[in-house]
Amino acid sequence: MQMIRNDETICAPATALGGAVSLVRMSGQASFEIIRTVFFPSRKNTDLSKLKGFTIIHGEIRNRDELIDEVLISIFRAPYSYTGEDSVEISCHGSPFIVTRIMELLLRNGAVAARPGEFTQRAFINGKMDLSQAEAVADLVASGTTESHRIAIQQMRGGFSGEIAKLRSELLRFASLIELELDFGEEDVEFADRNELISMITRVKELSDRLAGSFRLGNAIRNGIPVAIVGKPNSGKSTLLNVLLNEEKAIVSDIPGTTRDSIEDTVVISGMMYRFIDTAGLRDTTDVIESLGIQRTNEKIMKASVILMVDEVLEDAVKINQRAESIRKMTEGLEKHLIIVINKTDTCDASHIEKLKSLVMPGKAESLLFISAKNNQGIETLKDSLAKLFLNENYGRNDVIISNLRHYEALTHVSDSLGRVVSGLAENVPDDLIAMDIRQAIHYLGEITGEITSDEILGNIFRNFCIGK
Ligand code: GDP
């Protein structure tokens, strides 16, 4: 973590350049003193030091006689602000020049430039949010799809923290039972039934496993689900890719500031982002694809979560099945989805399609789809199939899903420690070793939320068990 410097008053532009309005944010104990030197309220007898929190006032930012801008300032009084400190937000006209001048003035009058994330860091230090919530703020700002937004907002509002708190309080209760036995070790008392302890800790481990297990989905939502389009040359892969990408580009390229590059090869379906892997060869319709060879295709398949295998209706069914089978072999035991897409339905009649349907054998969880990329037919069904693969995968809409690698790693440690507790209990390992693993699990949970104390375990013992009685 960065060095903490809570006594300084920090300031920073809070909005990106380019909009009609910009926001400059200042937080710290000298906020009101500093703003008084540069801001002059329109209503002359306003006393800035007497203003209540959540007040907005109109006025001018001046450098002595020079008028810099007409602005609105919002007043926040500690602890009722984002950071928990006295804060002021200046809404000015959205000109980089004005923002720079205002920043200069604030700095000259005693503020210091905030470091990246410093406002949120202060919010965490001042107990406005825990670490995982602070991290969610960054995710929220970066979220580009409905689903990534949903995860981030749930986490910021404390959904994840709630789950961690639940795990933690269960573990503390458990630890207090074990520690109590330790305290009375010489008298050889057993306060708790071992079987009960085992079932209790198994349940907690399941919770932790489930949270950790959600990371695969959470990560896919956050970074986009990797999709590989494979198949023999001329089956229509690049045509299909273009059909999938085109609608997207039409929507996004109208939003100023988005470059075509940044949306290259991603498509959002039902709020989830799909990222097409390694499409350079696809676009190039010359024989590059052949020269790239099998190895390149295999690498693509290994990187993907979804494989779209494209073939055409006039292809021999035996060959289609062979190709599908070779992909199944490669991906056996891996969590990958294969969708067999038979293209160019416009070049044959319905009876041929029916015949092909009966000859091509999709695997258990696979889809077999017939499309005409050229005529934009069957594309919606293909999108539905993609959406279905992930949206209901063991996790419902209201389940907490983790998408942060740090949380995932900590949870994996929690699960490992709890696994040792379960086997330790079953094998009658001494209490002090079990207590050690429990403490480790609590420690890792504390790493997620940013609060770790072993005093808390003691505190919990005295609260739950009235020893003096
Ligand atoms: P790729 O080599 O797999 O990327 O295949 P392309 O997308 O370059 O397509 C090869 C040829 O098939 C091109 O001439 C396309 O116009 C044509 N094609 C692609 N999709 C269809 C389709 O749905 N129907 C028909 N009739 N032709 C198609």
Q: In which order are the strands placed within the sheet that holds 55-63?
A: 39-41, 55-63, 66-76, 87-93, 21-27, 10-13, 112-113
DSSP string across 307-341: EEEEEETTS-HHHHHHHHHHHHHHHTTS--EEEEE
* pLDDT at residue 241 is higher than 70: yes
CA of 144 to the centre of ligand 1 (A): 31
Residue 80 sits at φ, ψ, to 5 deg, of -90, 65
**What string of DSSP letters covers 135-165?**
HHHHHHHH--SHHHHHHHHHHHTTHHHHHHH
Looking from the CA of residue 240, the nearest atom of ligand 1 is: 7
Atom of ligand 1 nearest to the CA of 310: 3
Structure tokens at 107: 């700095």
Cα-to-centroid distance, 324 and ligand 1 (Å): 20
Q: For 131, phi and psi rounded to 5 degrees?
A: -60, -45
pLDDT digits 0-9 by tens, 121-176 = 788 888 888 777 777 766 666 666 777 777 777 777 777 888 888 888 888 888 88
Express each pLDDT in 162-209 by its tens digit: 888 888 888 888 888 877 776 666 555 565 677 878 888 898 899 899
What is the token pair recorded at 430? Answer: 């001494």
State residue 300's pLDDT score. 86
- Ligand 1 interacting residues, C-beta cut-off 6 A: 231, 233-239, 282, 285, 343-344, 346-347, 372-374
Is there a contact between 21 and 92 (Cβ–Cβ < 8 Å)? Answer: yes
* Lowest mean pLDDT across 283-287, 299-303, 323-327, 361-365: 283-287
Name the nearest CA neighbour of 377 among 347, 352, 411.
347
Q: Whose CA is nearest to atom 14 of ligand 1?
A: 234
Q: What percent of the chain has pLDDT over 90?
A: 39
Q: Ligand 1: distance of its center to the CA of 239 in Å?
A: 6
What's the Cα-to-Cα distance from 288 to each of 46, 85, 242, 297, rounded to whole Å?
A: 72, 60, 18, 12
- Which region holds residue 193: left if phi is over 0, alpha if psi is between -120 and 50, else beta? beta
pLDDT at res. 4: 55
